Amino acid sequence: MAKQEDPEYKARAAALRLLARREHSRLELDLKLRQRKIEAPVIEKVLDEYEANDWLNNERFADVFARQRFDLGYGPLKIAAELQQRGIQALPAWLSAMTDREWADSAIRVRDRRFGLVDIRDDWDEKGRQGRFLARRGYAGDHIEAALEATLDDLEDQSVGGR
């Protein structure tokens, strides 16, 4: 049988190509290999081997993925949900260690980048619009509230205060 026709060779080659592009969770790789019509026992064998060689690592994937999503301005609820969709149940340690204040600061930065930090305390329509945006980004109610209350003066006070 030619190498390209060998199902195990096909699975190894496809998985390696996918991992060369970016980190994947085990679930993601499993699904992508199934889409290529590779049988489950072959996939399991290859993925077990890749995990043993540390080419496939769910903790590393979760860390990289969560950092990318955080850097893009997503909140804890969205990041956790997206990790779960990819088969990751445990959050990376750095993500679990973040305080509500740090998440609120992140929400303030996202709001500033998108809308600016003009005072909207009396503009209920705008407050609702910006609040819904932050909720879709995965921030919790307390983080959204802090972000909507923040003004440019608050941000300047914070940066003078040691940030």
Give residue 130's pLDDT: 97
Share of the chain above pLDDT 90, in %: 87
Q: Which domains does the chain have, with CATH numbers?
A: 7-56 (1.10.10), 61-160 (no CATH)
Is 156's pLDDT higher than 80? Answer: no
Is 43's pLDDT higher than 70? Answer: yes
Give residue 120's pLDDT: 92
pLDDT band per the 50, 70, 90 thresholds, residue 96: very high
- Do residues 146 and 104 make contact, with C-beta atoms less than 8 angstroms apart? yes
Distance from C-alpha of 113 to C-alpha of 55, rounded to nearest angstrom: 37
Residue whose tokens read 């699904």: 31
Kindly give, in sequence order, each residue whose CB lies less than 8 Å from that of residue 6, ignoring residues fewer than 6 positions away: none
pLDDT band per the 50, 70, 90 thresholds, residue 160: very low
The pTM score is 0.85
The encoded tokens of residue 156 equal 């300047």
**Maximum CA pair distance of the chain?**
73
Give residue 65's pLDDT: 97
